[in-house]
């Protein structure tokens, strides 16, 4: 790897694991497509694509489990997968086995691996402790096929860009979500989600200026860059059920940081066809979206109440996810109608859409307040000069030989 010009760049890769396919078990954390322990998964393919990248960089792999009892087994499994790359890439591994040491160094249990947002925070914390100038999130079902990809990132971080994202391309070379345009006339706001997303991505793809960047809230957690100064101020929300990437951009906007979108900064997204508890259960994805947007709207309402001088411009959030955050939209009623319309079997089998939205409202009121306290603790921890040496030592211990 050729030495780059003074920018310490890290790639952080989350990888999600569950019980062996031959011996399935319960899951306490639901991921879209975790890899069964007795299967190969896609992580090695992702790491192999990194070996072709030009520039100097380090890689942090964050291994998460669908059940806490799998922690040691997943750590060993992922360690074995990483070994062939240890001499070719500068590698670090964080897993449930690492959490006690990392939290002990911070002085409080700030880090966990029990939600998408929490996992993303580990992705930020370890590289930050080791002096990263920027962290690039790449998921374990993606590949980078441009050898000069890191130059796109480095030049913009060096120019002062606080955060940016790039597009996903699928196997066909298309960034569009397949089938989304067919949803344009759907009356329900939750059913129409992919249509809103396509509109937002299209606007970001078409509006880049001479510097190749557009001001946009569009962000994908698997192709997203955070600068060091942004990491110190902005954390992922550990309480959001899904969509932690767009939510992070809103958290940044609450602190006056507007995201950039770089159309040239593309990766190839190659998700597995059907694994994991959510892949075959679209009802659970819809329920997670209902909970997610009810929570996001409550968090923005509370932010405006607590910090009236730091309001987020609603236009910045259009055309997605702005429609879900507008005060005049009856999200609970839309959620009930979406569940009854798309998945009537949910009610037929004893589920209650009304209870889903009632629980979402109650959770949002509690967790939104907890988020702002978590954010305060995050900022305090990463500004602390006392914990920095301990955290650096704990992070260094994650290096793969």
How confident is the model over 43-57, as pLDDT tens digits?
A: 999 999 999 999 999
Q: Domains, the chain, ranges and CATH? A: 9-278+379-396 (3.90.550.10)
Q: Which residue has the tokens 């019980």?
A: 19
Q: Is 7 left (phi over 0), alpha (psi -120 to 50) or beta?
A: beta
**Three-state DSSP class for residue 122:** helix
With beta carbons less than 8 A apart as the criterion, state whether 1 and 151 touch.
Answer: no
With beta carbons less than 8 A apart as the criterion, state whether 56 and 89 touch.
Answer: no
Banded pLDDT at 6 (limits 50, 70, 90): low
Helix axes of 282-306 and 244-254: crossing angle, nearest 10 degrees? 10
Q: What is the DSSP-derived secondary structure letter of residue 349?
A: T
* Sign of CA pseudo-dihedral 376, 379, 385, 390: positive
With beta carbons less than 8 A apart as the criterion, state whether 154 and 4 touch.
Answer: yes
Q: What is this structure's pTM?
A: 0.95
Q: What is the pLDDT of residue 400?
A: 94
Instruction: Report how far Cα 395 is from the mean position of its chain's Cα atoms.
Output: 21
Q: Give dist(CA 223, CA 163) in Å, integer.
A: 11
Q: What is the pLDDT of residue 327?
A: 84
**In the numeric block, which tokens belong to residue 235?**
């954390």
Q: What average pLDDT does the segment 340-360 reach?
A: 97
**Cis before 319 (ω within 30):** yes
Alpha helices, H only, 190-281: 193-206, 228-233, 244-254
Q: Which of 287, 302, 399 is nearest to 338 (CA)?
A: 287
Banded pLDDT at 281 (limits 50, 70, 90): low
Residue 279 has pLDDT above 70, yes or no: no
Instruction: Residue count of the chain, please give it.
Output: 401
Q: What average pLDDT does the segment 203-226 reach?
A: 97
CB-count exposure of residue 29 (10 Å: 0-12, 13-18, 19+): buried
Q: Give dist(CA 193, CA 320) in Å, integer.
A: 8
């Amino acid at each position: 790897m050729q030495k780059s010009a003074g920018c310490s760049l890290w790639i952080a890769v989350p990888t999600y694991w569950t019980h062996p396919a031959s011996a399935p078990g319960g899951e306490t954390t639901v991921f879209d497509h975790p890899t069964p322990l007795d299967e190969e998964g896609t992580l090695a393919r992702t790491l192999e694509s990194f070996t072709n990248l030009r520039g100097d960089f380090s890689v942090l792999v964050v291994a998460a489990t669908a059940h806490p009892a799998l922690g040691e087994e997943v750590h060993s499994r992922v360690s074995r997968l990483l070994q062939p790359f240890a001499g070719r890439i500068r590698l670090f591994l964080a897993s449930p086995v690492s959490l006690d040491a990392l939290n002990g160094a911070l002085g409080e249990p700030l880090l966990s691996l029990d939600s998408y947002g929490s996992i993303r925070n580990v992705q930020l914390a370890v590289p930050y402790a080791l002096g990263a100038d920027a962290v690039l999130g790449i998921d374990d079902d993606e590949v980078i096929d441009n050898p000069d990809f890191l130059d796109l990132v480095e030049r913009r971080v060096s120019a002062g860009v606080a955060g940016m994202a790039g597009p996903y391309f699928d196997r066909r070379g298309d960034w569009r979500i397949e089938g989304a345009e067919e949803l344009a006339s759907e009356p329900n706001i939750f059913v129409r989600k992919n249509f809103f997303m396509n509109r937002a991505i299209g606007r970001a793809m078409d509006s880049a200026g001479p510097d190749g960047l557009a001001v946009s809230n569009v962000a994908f957690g698997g192709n997203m860059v955070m600068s060091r100064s942004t990491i110190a101020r902005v954390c992922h929300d550990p309480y959001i059920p899904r969509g932690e990437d767009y939510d992070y951009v809103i958290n940044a906007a609450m602190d006056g940081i507007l995201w950039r979108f770089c159309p040239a900064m593309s990766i190839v997204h190659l998700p597995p066809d059907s694994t994991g508890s959510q892949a075959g259960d679209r009802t659970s994805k819809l329920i997670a979206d209902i909970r997610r947007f009810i929570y996001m709207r409550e968090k923005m309402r509370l932010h405006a109440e607590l910090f009236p001088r730091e309001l987020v411009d609603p236009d910045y959030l259009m055309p997605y996810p702005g429609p879900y955050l507008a005060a005049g939209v009856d999200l609970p009623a839309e959620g009930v109608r979406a569940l009854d319309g798309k998945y009537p079997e949910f009610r037929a089998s004893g589920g209650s859409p009304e209870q889903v939205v009632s629980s979402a409202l109650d959770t949002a009121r509690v967790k939104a307040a907890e988020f702002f306290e978590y954010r305060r603790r995050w900022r305090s921890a990463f500004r602390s000069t006392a914990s920095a040496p301990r955290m650096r030592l704990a992070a260094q211990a994650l290096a793969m030989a």
